[in-house]
Amino acid sequence: MSQKKIAILATDGFEQSELVDPRDGLKAAGFHVDVIAPEAGRIRGWKGKDWGDEVEVDLALGDASADDYDALVLPGGVINPDKLRIDEAAVAFVAAFDRAGKPLAAICHGPWLLVQSGAAKDRDVTSWPSVRTDLENAGGRWSDREVVVDGHVITSRKPDDIPAFTKAVIDALA
């Protein structure tokens, strides 16, 4: 069997731990992981109250296809998903995973992309508390839990949830 491939969609302002920790955990579990961003090059994380480290972009969004991946991970941070949810190509990429029923995992503010793509509708979800109303207005059923799995959609609240979030992605691909 070929190695399963996971896409992480992000741009400048991603919550550092919510991209780096799942990426590293998924790689350690034997998955091929690509960081995809609107532009090639590097993107910079947000850590604490300031800019964090840069991460190499493996593939520009325009060159990526959901057909080439088995799952999608959407890190949070406030800046990152807010920029991506107004990027038509990013929203279309997320929607393609949802239509295909492939694991679609979002943490913290990442579920904003589930709202924008329509993937939150009629789903049990969680998120950072400030995203709750957006998810509920989009037809999601929000609860304050470490990780919520509803079909192929996986959501978590915050950096403390990363171990459970990463395990849920691994379990979804098992």
Q: Which of 39, 32, 73 is nearest to 59 (CA)?
A: 39
* Distance in angstroms (rounded) separating the CA atoms of residues 160 and 56: 24
Confidence grade of residue 1 (pLDDT, cut at 50, 70, 90): low
Kindly state the average pLDDT of the residues 74-96: 98
For residue 154, the model assigns a pLDDT of 98
Is the per-residue pLDDT at 41 higher than 80? yes
The position carrying tokens 């998924």 is: 26
The pLDDT of residue 101 is 98
pLDDT of residue 2: 74
112 and 134 Cβ atoms separated by less than 8 Å: yes
**For 5-173, CATH number?**
3.40.50.880
| CA within 13 Å, CB half, 67 | 2
Domain boundaries, the chain: 5-173
Catalytic positions, please? 108-109
Q: What is the pLDDT of residues 4-27, one digit of tens each?
A: 999 999 999 999 999 999 999 999
Mean pLDDT of 82-96: 98
- Residue 94's pLDDT is 98
